[in-house]
A and B are shown apart, each in its own frame.
Chain A
Amino acid sequence: GAGVSQSPRYKVAKRGQDVALRCDPISGHVSLFWYQQALGQGPEFLTYFQNEAQLDKSGLPSDRFFAERPEGSVSTLKIQRTQQEDSAVYLCASSRGGWNWAFFGQGTRLTVV
């Protein structure tokens, strides 16, 4: 597709369940970011990949959060043993260069019940 694609669009998980969120970046975009946006807040940085290398994971809130991008294209954000505070919209962005050329996906809305 032409844009950044995220799936699923919506996910309801029971507390304690593991979830996997997928991001398909724009073809050729080497940089990929994950952000978490809680209700009424701005996006908060989670992690950054350049190709398959995870260059910054300082924003991951706990060791329950794990992200990978094994072939430098599709990325998966995994959350283990989900908690209610994990409820948020998870945004993925990719770029071929600077932020002026970065595009965000529509996000995955995760609700933990």
Chain B
Amino acid sequence: DQQVKQNSPSLSVQEGRISILNCDYTNSMFDYFLWYKKYPAEGPTFLISISSIKDKNEDGRFTVFLNKSAKHLSLHIVPSQPGDSAVYFCAASPIDRGSTLGRLYFGRGTQLTVWP
């Protein structure tokens, strides 16, 4: 049973535009969320995270929004660049604030393609 869902397997965006990647979860015990970026033949790399005590976290071009009541989060990339083309995974943990480690539950990923 998939507890973290990324319903869009792919997204194509023109360079300079906004990319919005979506993620839904079912487990109300999740309270720490992360986005990972993965290039082919490499492991996932951490991009940005958000705790359930916040509804927004921003880091440069990347912003993550969390809507706890809807059990939904999204990653916004503005402006999108060709180097952002990769698979993006949403992940969730039931451990608060990421300061301690619990198992992560991953979505299936969304392939983002940014074209010039």
Residues of A within 8 A of B (CB): 4, 31, 33, 35, 40-45, 48, 50, 56, 59, 91, 93, 95, 97-100, 102-107
Contact = CB atoms under 8 A, between A and B. Distances in A.
Contact of B108 (A42, A97, A103, A104): A42
A95 B101 contact: yes
Given A4-B43, A91-B43, A106-B43, A42 B107 contact: yes
Contacts of B100: 98
B89 A106 contact: no
Interface of B: 4, 6, 32, 34, 41-46, 49, 89, 91, 93, 97-101, 103-109
A61 to B, nearest CB: 15
A48 B46 contact: no
Contacts of A104: 43-45
A33 B103 contact: yes
16 contacts: A4-B43, A33-B103, A33-B104, A35-B106, A40-B108, A42-B6, A42-B91, A42-B107, A45-B104, A91-B44, A98-B98, A99-B34, A99-B91, A102-B101, A104-B45, A106-B43
Contacts of B105: 45
